[in-house]
Amino acid sequence: MGYLKKNRHRQIQINPRLLEAEEIEILDSAYKPKTVLLTRHGITHDVAGLLQKGLTSTSVGGFFFIPYLLQLGIYDLLGGIGKPKQEGIPNESIALGFIFESLFGYTKGIRTVDPVNRKDFALLAGLPFLPSPSTQYRYLQGISCKGALDLQVALGRKLVALGQIKPGSPVNIDGHNVTTYSRKEMKQSYITKEGRYGKAIRCFYTQDQASKKPLIAMAAYSGTTVTQSTDAAASLTGNILDGRYMLVADKEWYCGRLIQELHEQYGINVLVPTKKSNSRMAEINSIPLSDYMKSSYGNITAVYTTMKDFNGPLKMFIKKQPDGSVFALITPEQPEQTVESEDAFPTYTKRWRLENFFSENAFLGINHLPSLNLNAIQAMLSFKLVAYHLVDNFRNDLGADYASKTPETIFNEFINGVQGRIELKNDTIVVHVYNFKHERAVASIMNNLNAKLLKANVDPYIPWLGNRRLDFEFQ
């Protein structure tokens, strides 16, 4: 199991805190919110009762992703964010609910969950019922922006530890606008790519270029400039990679002061297209054709140059096409991070992997806002990054035929309408999967699951499902 790389069964200890009650809203059988008084012990008891009784499901494909949650240690990471809470619904279960909503394409939240499937869907997060939207919203409001970003950094460092991200690869950076048409008061600003003024949340993403995995997704209100946001995004990315890296950006990052700051403070070299000012074009046109060499990217050359507000030499890579068109990239010259002409252009071309990320992963809900409160948006972005990595690791384990499938395709083929029955045998939750089209591909991963997890130093016991193991039977 390529992406699934020991511990004894932990017995649940009942302590007084598990019996502390919380008044909360849940969704009843008519899919209407009702107020109930519940304890964590009561939740655990009801989950055990569901499993012992057994239940049928049309979405058992969601259970395929639980081993990947264990592999990434998500439950423990979720315990470190949000306001501490000892009673009622565990914060970790509410957060897991958000993650599974993304995997299932519920971009507008739990309001769109099919009430017929409410128990098996809730069970994925370790609950015997669906919490109400207001319960979820209060949880989001209790998470700080720093806590949500800390989750992303911890997740990124886990991916590095697993070898799924290898420091040294260039990092793409780009801004992504999520527009809102809410009538609530909100600052408007010029939305560059849409070419108009409007209300939007500006999300700044960084992405490991080699693996295509996102590293940081940072939310900001419209009107936030690249200069204002890049320092934080670059620093957080550096915390994941634990070292220097090259940041590949578009023309919005063409700012001498910003390039200088990243270069001096973090040792980051920005590779960015130059603007075609009159002085820059005159400089490029003065270079004799004999200085160019032929390549698959056209005639290319490299020269040293200067830039306003940047203190030191810069290297400029120039590409000239037969029709006379010119494209140039610029980056600080640094001996330990030398970039050659033949590497600069393919490195920049791969920046489009981040542009593709936005379109390919819309299914996960990255373009939907849970609120206009920035901390709630930041928390939701963090949960959607978790969902992305679950899909990405799963499709990589499926093999080359599935590695480029979008999350929506993975949902349609491996989650939506997958028939099964869930029941408890001793300390193992057995998921019977019936008449599944992709049985061979998934069975190759899930057969002997617990042995594979132990071999990969992953605890197979699921903390949010009563510290029980998982087993699959394909029939």
Mark whether 377 and 342 lie in a shared domain. Answer: no
**Under the phi-then-psi rule, with left for phi > 0, alpha for psi from -120 to 50, and beta for the rest, what region is 416?**
beta
Q: Which domain holds residue 66?
A: 16-145+370-474
Compute the mean pLDDT over every residue in the chain, rounded to the nearest whole number.
87
pLDDT at 64 over 90: yes
- pLDDT the model gives residue 12: 46
- pLDDT the model gives residue 196: 58
Report angle CA 65, 66, 69 to the nearest 5 degrees: 95
Q: Label residue 23 by pLDDT band (50, 70, 90).
A: confident
Mark whether 33 and 80 lie in a shared domain. Answer: yes
In a domain, 305, yes or no: yes
Give the percent of the chain with pLDDT over 70.
Answer: 87
Segment among 47-56, 191-200, 393-402 with least mean pLDDT: 191-200
- 8 Å CB contact between 244 and 171: no
Mark whether 385 and 457 lie in a shared domain. Answer: yes
In a domain, 435, yes or no: yes
Cα 436 from Cα 418, distance rounded (Å): 7
Cα 44 from Cα 33, distance rounded (Å): 21
Between 59 and 280, where is the model more confident?
280
In a domain, 264, yes or no: no
335 Cβ neighbours under 8 A, 6+ residues apart: none
Which residues, in sequence order, are bridge partners of residue 176?
203
Mark whether 279 and 340 lie in a shared domain. Answer: yes
Q: Is 437 exposed, middle or buried (0-12, 13-18, 19+ CB in 10 A)?
A: exposed
Cα 107 to Cα 101, 164, 184, 237, 456: the distances in Å are 7, 27, 21, 27, 33
Mark whether 429 and 327 lie in a shared domain. Answer: no
Q: What are phi and psi of 118, to 5 degrees?
A: -65, -35
Rounded to an integer, the average pLDDT of 137-159 is 96
Mark whether 328 and 445 lie in a shared domain. Answer: no
In a domain, 228, yes or no: no
Mark whether 342 and 374 lie in a shared domain. Answer: no
Mark whether 41 and 93 lie in a shared domain. Answer: yes
Cα within 13 Å of Cα(320), Cβ side: 18
Tokens, residue 300 = 């290319």
In a domain, 456, yes or no: yes
**Under the phi-then-psi rule, with left for phi > 0, alpha for psi from -120 to 50, and beta for the rest, what region is 212?**
left
Segment among 134-148, 150-164, 180-194 with least mean pLDDT: 180-194
Within 54-132, residue ranges assigned H as helices are 66-72, 74-78, 91-103, 118-124
Mark whether 325 and 413 lie in a shared domain. Answer: no
Residue with tokens 């029955």: 421
Cα 174 from Cα 249, distance rounded (Å): 7
Mark whether 22 and 106 lie in a shared domain. Answer: yes
In a domain, 362, yes or no: no
Between 248 and 180, where is the model more confident?
248
Mark whether 138 and 37 lie in a shared domain. Answer: yes
Among 346, 381, 407, residue at a domain's last position: 346
- pLDDT the model gives residue 129: 85
**How many separate domains does the chain show?**
2
In a domain, 220, yes or no: no
In a domain, 2, yes or no: no
Q: Label residue 242 by pLDDT band (50, 70, 90).
A: confident
Helix-helix angle 407-414:374-398, to 10 degrees = 60
pLDDT at 134 over 80: yes
Mark whether 311 and 428 lie in a shared domain. Answer: no
What is the pTM for the complete model shown?
0.90
Segment among 122-136, 390-404, 409-423 with least mean pLDDT: 122-136
